């Protein structure tokens, strides 16, 4: 079977959750191709091809900042993380139940995923090169362990024409610059013990060999003008502009460099107890690493970091910005200025103790509601309970919600201790705060 997709644009919010005030201004993947040889499923390599991966990133523009959309996206991401934790807990606690839906489905997908990743890692053949070079024949953490029953599947993963470019005309006043990373060629393939490219079956040897070759990795930082910014171009114009950018002269931070690495991995399932026998051995060979940094480039980097910190602070505090003018309410603006300038300062209105009491009651109510959901996933909660649950999940942060949910999951895990041990509360506390000792 074969599937091929072309001219895939990258979403603007693709980098939303990396924790930096940057966004994708433009980007595309020229071609994505998947070849699965159905007749020769395990004798012919699978081919995954990604061609012309280009990305243009820029700082977030405060004039385009949508507080409501960003808040909703962060809320959705927070809930997805919490749902992932719940699914993992159900799979762990219900694994002994034959009829458990969560345990069977979650374990099935986890098994398929780890099997696939294991095969990729053990049989990987990767080729990365620039698109103008032609090739014949024509890229919750769990430990991945190989099992003898796994079947060998050879993969060929190819990426062509990779160019990542950061453009900035915001952080440094009256100046614009571009920071880019390009790779001319990167190959990673399975080898024999003589470092000759060759596909090795899973049971052929207790040691796997990988050969990595990197050719012409470069990093540049150029001074540009406003008319050389590529983020506002259309897809067709961006394709031409990124191709032209590759052949232009650059002010390199890292001039094109090549390297080779030999990786040898011991695949034994038994622990390696000898200090002289490591699990992974990697020999890296570098010819030359030409690094150059000018005063101007250093100044741009420092200014960029400061500017990004300022943008991040403005985005976080923008929701406290008064909706009235300074003339209409100077007091509100002075309060806003103080809250932005003094770290951790936030004027609390009257009735702080009353709010603390209400917050504690909400915590208890949320734990009770979530306890019902954990014990019976198909149960229907009352409308007022759903409203309270949604409001708490909107108001509270991820860490606080995770702590409240862990109270429920821990209480269910330690239910036997509740029935026969008067120190159940101390057991819960000791699990929640492992650094504390009982007195």
Alpha-carbon dihedral angle through residues 218, 222, 227, 230, given to the nearest 10 degrees: 30
- pTM value is 0.69
Q: What mean pLDDT is predicted for residues 336-346? A: 72
Model pLDDT for residues 178-225, shown as the tens digit of each residue: 999 998 887 777 778 888 877 665 555 788 888 888 888 899 999 998
> What would the pLDDT profile of 364-420 be if each residue is shown by its tens digit?
999 999 998 888 878 788 899 999 999 999 988 889 999 999 988 888 776 554 444
Q: What is the pLDDT of residues 353-367, one digit of tens each?
A: 888 889 999 999 999
Taking 50 as the threshold, does the pLDDT of residue 120 lie above it? no
Collect all residues with Cβ–Cβ distance below 8 Å to 409 and sequence separation of at least 6.
Answer: 89, 93, 374
| Mean pLDDT value across the chain | 77
178, 218, 253 from 225: Cα distances, Å = 10, 22, 19
Q: DSSP string of 165-208? A: EEEESSSSTT--EEEEEEEEEEEEEEE-TT--B----TTS-SEE
Cβ contacts of 65 within 8 Å, gap of 6 or more: 315, 318
Q: Residue for token digits 């899973």?
A: 202
d(CA 374, CA 94): 12
């Amino acid at each position: 079977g074969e599937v091929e997709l072309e001219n895939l644009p990258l979403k603007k919010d693709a980098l939303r959750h990396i924790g930096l005030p940057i966004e994708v201004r433009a980007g595309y993947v020229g071609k994505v191709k998947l070849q699965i040889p159905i007749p020769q499923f395990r004798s012919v390599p699978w081919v995954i091809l990604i061609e012309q991966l280009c990305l243009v990133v820029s700082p977030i523009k405060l004039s385009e900042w949508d507080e409501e959309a960003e808040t909703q996206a962060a809320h959705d991401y927070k809930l997805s993380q919490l749902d992932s934790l719940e699914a993992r807990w159900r799979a762990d606690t219900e694994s002994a139940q034959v009829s458990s839906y969560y345990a069977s489905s979650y374990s099935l997908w986890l098994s398929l995923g780890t099997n696939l990743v294991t095969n990729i890692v053990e049989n990987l053949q990767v080729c990365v090169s620039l698109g103008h070079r032609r090739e014949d024949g024509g890229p919750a953490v769990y430990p991945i362990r190989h099992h003898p029953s796994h079947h060998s599947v050879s993969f060929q993963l190819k990426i062509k024409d990779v160019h990542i470019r950061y453009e900035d005309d915001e952080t440094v006043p009256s100046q614009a610059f571009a920071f880019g990373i390009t790779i001319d060629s990167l190959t990673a393939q399975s080898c024999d013990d003589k470092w000759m490219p060759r596909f090795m079956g899973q049971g052929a040897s207790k040691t796997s060999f990988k050969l990595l070759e990197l050719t012409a990795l470069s990093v540049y930082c150029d001074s540009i003008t406003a008319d050389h910014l590529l983020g506002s171009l259309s897809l067709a114009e961006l394709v031409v502009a990124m191709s032209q950018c590759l052949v232009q002269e650059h002010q390199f931070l890292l001039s094109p460099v090549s390297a080779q690495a030999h990786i040898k991995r011991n695949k034994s399932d038994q622990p390696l107890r000898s200090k002289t026998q490591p699990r992974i051995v990697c020999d890296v060979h570098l010819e030359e690493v030409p690094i150059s940094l000018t005063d101007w480039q250093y100044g741009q980097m420092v200014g960029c970091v400061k500017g990004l910190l300022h943008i991040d602070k403005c985005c976080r505090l923008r929701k406290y910005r008064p909706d009235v003018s300074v003339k209409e309410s100077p007091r509100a603006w002075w309060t806003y200025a103080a809250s932005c300038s003094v770290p951790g300062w936030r004027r609390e209105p009257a009735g702080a103790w009353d709010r603390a009491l209400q917050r504690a009651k909400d915590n208890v109510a949320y734990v009770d509601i979530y306890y019902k959901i954990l014990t019976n996933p198909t149960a229907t909660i009352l409308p007022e309970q759903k409203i309270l649950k949604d409001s708490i999940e909107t108001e509270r942060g991820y860490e606080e919600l995770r702590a409240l949910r862990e109270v429920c999951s821990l209480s269910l895990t330690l239910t036997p201790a509740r029935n026969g041990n008067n120190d159940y509360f101390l057991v819960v506390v000791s699990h929640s705060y492992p650094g504390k000792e009982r007195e």
